[in-house]
Amino acid sequence: MTVWRVGDPVAPVNGTLDPEILEWCNRNHFILVTNNRASMPVHLRQRLETGETAAGIFVLHPSLALEQIVQDLVLVWGASDAEEYANLIWYLPILG
């Protein structure tokens, strides 16, 4: 599993707009993991409505602890292929 965060040297810089982050993730075959529950799903839906594709996003619940986030992502990574999440929005935690 490869993880980059916005602001890392090879990733979009801090302050990059949501649509540009989605484009970077799609172009680089990264599923986006975000705590942006307000606008990121909206931008993904807009992207799909215009016929563009997206690698998909996982939206984090605000109460999730880092340990639970890591456990859920490891579960997803080990049990599925990234292509299964293309053009989809998934909300974490997976199990409530």
Which of the four pLDDT bands, split at 50, 70 and 90, describes residue 74?
very high
pLDDT, tens digit (0-9, with 9 covering 90-100), for 6-32: 999 999 999 999 999 999 999 999 999
Compute CA 96 distance to the chain's CA centroid, rounded to the nearest angstrom. Answer: 19
Q: Is 36 helix (H, G, I), strand (E, B) or coil?
A: coil
Q: Is 10 helix (H, G, I), strand (E, B) or coil?
A: coil
Compute CA 88 distance to the chain's CA centroid, rounded to the nearest angstrom. Answer: 9
Convert 8-40 to b/e letters by CB count within 10 Å (16 or more is b).
Answer: eeebbeeeeebeebbbbbbeeebbbbbeeeeeb
* Residue 95 reports pLDDT greater than 80: no
